[in-house]
Amino acid sequence: MANLKTTENKTKSQSMGMHSEVLTGRTQQKFFNPDEGENLYYFGTYDVDFNKRTELDVKEMTAADANKEIDNLMSQGFGTIVIKNPQGKHSLGVGILNKLNLIFEGSLGYFGMGSCDGPTVRINGRVGWSCAENLMAGKVVIEKNAGSCFGAAIRGGDLICKGSVGARTGIDMKGGTIIVGGDAGAFTGFMMQRGRIIILGDVGINLGDSMYDGTIFIGGKIGSFGSDAIPADLTDTDQDWLKRKLKVAEIGEKFDVSKMTKIVAGKKLWNYDNLEPHEKKGAI
Amino acid sequence: MCGIAGLIHRGKSSNVGSELQGMLQALKHRGEDSTGYALYGDTDGKNFIMRFKVGENVGEGSSSIMEDVSVYDARKKIVDQYLSELGAKIVKEERVLPYSLRYELAYDAKDLLEFSQKIESIPGVEILSMGKSLEVIKDLGNAQMVCDRYSLDKVVGTHAIGHARMATESGVDIKSAHPFWGYPFSDVSVVHNGQLTNYWNNRRLLENKGMRFMSECDSELIAVYIAQKMREGASLEEGMKASLTGLDGVFTYFVATKDSLGMAKDTMAAKPLVLYESDDLVAMGSEEIAIRSVLPQEIDTYDPYDGEVKVWQI
C-alpha cells in the first residue's frame, strides 16, 4: 500500500499549516500495516453496483424506516439511490458505511448524513443543523444553504455547500475538507483540530476561535478573528491545492484564490504533535 | 429545548390558527409541557379583546395547586366589577374553560398600564393578552391538544407566533407558558427559545421602573424589556436591536405587533432558526419541518446569522 507519509508530502502539508493528514476514516488504510487488513472490514457493508438505480419516496416514512430501507436497498446491490420527498426530516442517511451514490431530491432537517463513511451524496435542497457530523470519508454536496454546525467533528471526506452556512461551521473537525460557496456565520472553525475549511464569501465574528490546528481559507470579509487564530502566508502550494479542490468540488472554479486569506492556529498544544499516527488515532 | 414558530401573510388573511397548529405540532418533540399561540385575527378593530385567566390548569403534569371552581367564579366577579369601575363595557363574554376567559371590551384608553394593574391586583388573575387584534391562548399539552381545547383551527388572520415548551427553569403552568404579552402594550407578544443569564439583574431594574412580571420564566424578560424600550420611545426594531446587548445568554425570539412580525438572534447564534421568505409569506421556526407543515413543496430556506434582527409588515 502506498505510504503518503513520505518526507516530501509531510513537508508539503506542513507548509500549508497542516502537520499531517492521517486522521481520516477509512482513508487511514493507507497508513495501516497490510497485515492488519482485516481491520478495514466494516461489518454490514455491501457490494453495490452504481449502475443499479432505484428511487425511494420517504414522504410517509419515519427517518428510522427510511434509513432501514436505504440499507435494505444496498443489501440488494443498488448503488444509486434517489430519495424523493425528504421534506426536512431529521437524521436521514445516517450511518452509511458503504460506497453509494445517494441523491436527495429535496431538503434535509438536522443531522442529515451523520456518521457516514464512504458514500457520495448530492442533496438538491437545503440541510439543517449538523449536516454530515462525524463524516469519515466520501463526498457530500449540498446545492442550497446549510444550517449551523455544518460538518461538526468530521474526520475526512469532502463536504461542500454551494450556498451559505450558519454558525460554527467545522466545529471540532479533525480532518477532511469543508467548502462553502457563500457566506458563513460566527465561530467558523471553532476548536478545529485538523482539516481545511474554504469559505468563498464572508465570515462572521470569532473565526477560528480556539483552533488547535488545521487551516482556514477565506475569500471575503472576516468579522473578527477568534482567540488563537492568526493569518498566515498564502503559498503557491496553497493556491494550487485550492484551485484543484474548487474544481473538483464544482464550485468557484474561476474564483481568484490568490486573494484569499489563510488562517492557522497561533498556538501549539503541549506535546500535541509529537505523537505517532497510531497514537493520535487512539487519542482521538 | 423549546420550539418556536411564526408566520406572516403579507397582503392577505389566512387560516393562521390551523397553520400555526401544524407548525407547532411538528415541533412537539422540542417540548409539550405547554403550548401557546399568539394569533392576530381579523377584527373590526373597534373593541379590545382581553384573554385572561382566573386560575391555573391543574391537570396532569401541572405544578399548580388545585382550587375550587367557586374561587374562579369569585375572581371573575371582581374582574367584572373592576371593568365597570374602569369604564370598560363587556360587549361579548366567553368562558372557554373554567379558568380561562375571553372578553370583548368597549374601552377607550391609550395606556393600558393603569387598566392592567387594577385587573391584575386581583390575586390569581392574569391578563394573557390585551389588544384589538391579538389573542394569546396558552395551556398545558401539545399544540393539537391546546388547539382542540380552545377551537383555534378556524381562526383567520394575518400573522401568528407560537411556542412549544419544555419547562426547564420554571413551573409547568400557564403563567410560565409562552407567548408573553408585551404588557402594557396593546397587541404585542413574544416567544423565545433559549436561556437568559442576566434575568434577575434586568428584572430588578425593570421592576424599579414600574414594569410587572407574572412568572419567574426568564423568557418573560424579553417581552418586558422590549415593552420598556417602547415606553421610552424606541420603535419595535430599535428595542429588539437593543436587546442583543442588553440581554445576556442564548436566544432566538419572535415579537409580533398588530401589523408586524420580527425575529432576533443572539450574537452567538446558539439557538436554531430556519426562515422562509417570499413576497406574500414569511414562515419561520426552530426546525424546517415546522415550515414544511405549511409549505410541503420544495422551498428555499436559510438560517439567519448571529446578531440578526428582522421585521416584516403585513
The A-side interface with B (CB below 8 A) comprises 87-90, 105-107, 109-110, 125-126, 128-129, 144-148, 163-168, 183, 185-187, 204-205
Tell me the shortest Cα–Cα distance from A103 to chain B, in angstroms. Answer: 15
* pLDDT above 90 (res A261): yes
Query: Which pLDDT value is given to residue A65?
Result: 97
- CB-CB under 8 Å, A110 with B306: no
- CB-CB under 8 Å, A128 with B267: no
Does the interface ipTM go beyond 0.90? Answer: no
- CB-CB under 8 Å, A166 with B269: yes
Domains and CATH numbers, chain B: 3-313 (3.60.20.10)
Which chain B residues are within 8 Å of A166, Cβ to Cβ?
269, 303, 305
**Which residue does chain B place closest to A111, by CA atoms?**
B287
**Pairwise CA distance, residues A51 & A49, whole Å:** 5
**Pairwise CA distance, residues B32 & B22, whole Å:** 14
Across A246-259, average pLDDT:
90
In DSSP terms, which residues pair with B105 in a beta bridge?
Answer: B48, B90
* B1: contact with A, CB 8 A cutoff: no
Percent with pLDDT over 70 in chain A? 79
- CB-CB under 8 Å, A205 with B306: yes
Query: Which pLDDT value is given to residue A234?
Result: 96
pLDDT averaged over every residue in chain A: 85
* pLDDT above 60 (res A281): no
* B200: contact with A, CB 8 A cutoff: no
Query: Which pLDDT value is given to residue A82?
Result: 98
Query: Which pLDDT value is given to residue A1?
Result: 33
Query: Which pLDDT value is given to residue A29?
Result: 42
Q: Nearest Cβ partner of A109 from B269, B288, B296?
A: B288
**Pairwise CA distance, residues B55 & B74, whole Å:** 11
Distance of CA A177 to CAs A85, A214, B197, Å?
Answer: 28, 10, 36
- CB-CB under 8 Å, B300 with A166: no
Q: Nearest Cβ partner of B269 from A89, A105, A167?
A: A167
Tell me the shortest Cα–Cα distance from B287 to chain A, in angstroms. Answer: 7
**Which residue does chain B place closest to A104, by CA atoms?**
B298
Per-residue pLDDT of chain B (314 residues; tens, 9 = 90+): 799 999 999 989 999 999 999 999 999 999 999 999 999 999 888 999 999 999 998 877 777 888 888 999 999 999 999 999 999 999 999 999 999 999 999 998 767 888 999 999 999 999 999 999 999 999 999 999 999 999 999 999 999 999 999 887 778 889 889 999 988 888 999 999 999 999 999 999 999 988 888 888 888 899 899 988 988 999 989 999 999 999 999 999 999 999 999 999 998 888 999 999 999 999 999 999 999 999 988 888 999 999 999 999 99
**Which residue does chain A place closest to B269, by CA atoms?**
A167
**Pairwise CA distance, residues A124 & A141, whole Å:** 8
> What does pTM read for this prediction?
0.84
Tell me the shortest Cα–Cα distance from A104 to chain B, in angstroms. Answer: 12
- Catalytic annotation, residues of B: 2
Q: Which of B265, B266, B305 to mutate to test the interface with A (most CBs of A within 10 A)?
A: B305
* B289: contact with A, CB 8 A cutoff: yes
Q: Nearest Cβ partner of A128 from B268, B274, B296?
A: B274
Tens-digit pLDDT profile for residues A166-222:
999 999 999 999 999 999 999 999 999 989 999 999 999 999 999 988 999 999 999
- CB-CB under 8 Å, A106 with B269: no
- CB-CB under 8 Å, B291 with A87: no
Contact residues for B231 (Cβ-Cβ < 8 A; gap 6+)? none
pLDDT band at A34 (very low <50, low <70, confident <90, very high): low
- CB-CB under 8 Å, B298 with A106: yes
Contact residues for A206 (Cβ-Cβ < 8 A; gap 6+)? A186, A187, A190, A223, A224, A225, A226, A227
